[in-house]
Chains A and B, each alone.
Chain A
Amino acid sequence: AQSVTQLDSQVPVFEEAPVELRCNYSSSVSVYLFWYVQYPNQGLQLLLKYLSGSTLVKGINGFEAEFNKSQTSFHLRKPSVHISDTAEYFCAVSETTSGTYKYIFGTGTRLKVLA
């Protein structure tokens, strides 16, 4: 079964600084990867997804992520963060078992943008 590791539980960063949120997954023949964002008291919203093709994926709100098959990583980056980016970020991978689709989530990284 797949597993997803987000090593950083909290990441503080100053406004307008760059940020990288790390995500590693267990290897698989084929893998589909997602990053979600959760603002306080809300559900999860899709930031971006990797299905196939270019390893650099661009998402909403200026975020991007790079799929690295050899390192089994899918790190999320933003060159310049805003206060409004303060939220919790989840990496997820989908897997297929007997024709049923399930999603495995990491434990989340809380991004705190400081003024």
Chain B
Amino acid sequence: NAGVTQTPKFQVLKTGQSMTLQCAQDMNHNSMYWYRQDPGMGLRLIYYSASEGTTDKGEVPNGYNVSRLNKREFSLRLESAAPSQTSVYFCASTSLGDRRPQHFGDGTRLSIL
């Protein structure tokens, strides 16, 4: 059971470069989320997709874009990376309903030099 798969696991970028973080889930979940985790700040929501075809901004969306490619896949794009975007990025998914716990990927560790 793969669950939520994130690629790549590690990446180093130079300031100004662009890249896309990939996320795929095989649990037929409707909702998908992108978070960033920084020391002492917990998880902060970047963007989410309540269902296929919809995306919405979370708490910290500036500098990011997302695409819900289909029900399985939700990608996060950094158009022009900045050192402040150095973080660990987590993708999560859940089936419809706020009683449902989220399932998380193992994260992408991104460093911007």
Q: For A96, what are the chain B residues with a Cβ–Cβ distance below 8 Å? A: 98
Q: For B41, what are the chain A residues with a Cβ–Cβ distance below 8 Å? A: 107
Q: For A101, what are the chain B residues with a Cβ–Cβ distance below 8 Å? A: 31, 50, 94, 96-98, 100
* Chain B residues touching A, range: 20 to 34
Complex-state Cα separation, A102 to B48, whole angstroms? 8
A43 adjacent to B90 (CB under 8 Å): yes
Interface residues of A, count at CB 8 A = 26
B95 to chain A, nearest CB (A): 10
Interface residues of B (CB under 8 A from A): 4, 31, 33, 35, 40-43, 45, 48, 50, 56, 58, 90, 92, 94, 96-107
A71 to chain B, nearest CB (A): 21
> Known contacts being A43-B105, A44-B104, A94-B99, is A107 close to B40, with CB within 8 Å?
yes
B42 adjacent to A107 (CB under 8 Å): yes
Interface residues of A (CB under 8 A from B): 6, 9, 32, 34, 36, 41-46, 49, 51, 90, 94-96, 99-103, 105-108
B68 to chain A, nearest CB (A): 14
CB pairs A–B below 8 angstroms (29 shown): A32-B99, A34-B101, A41-B106, A41-B107, A43-B90, A43-B104, A43-B105, A43-B107, A44-B92, A45-B104, A49-B101, A90-B43, A96-B98, A99-B50, A100-B50, A101-B31, A101-B96, A101-B97, A101-B98, A102-B45, A102-B48, A102-B58, A103-B45, A103-B102, A105-B35, A105-B43, A107-B41, A107-B42, A108-B40
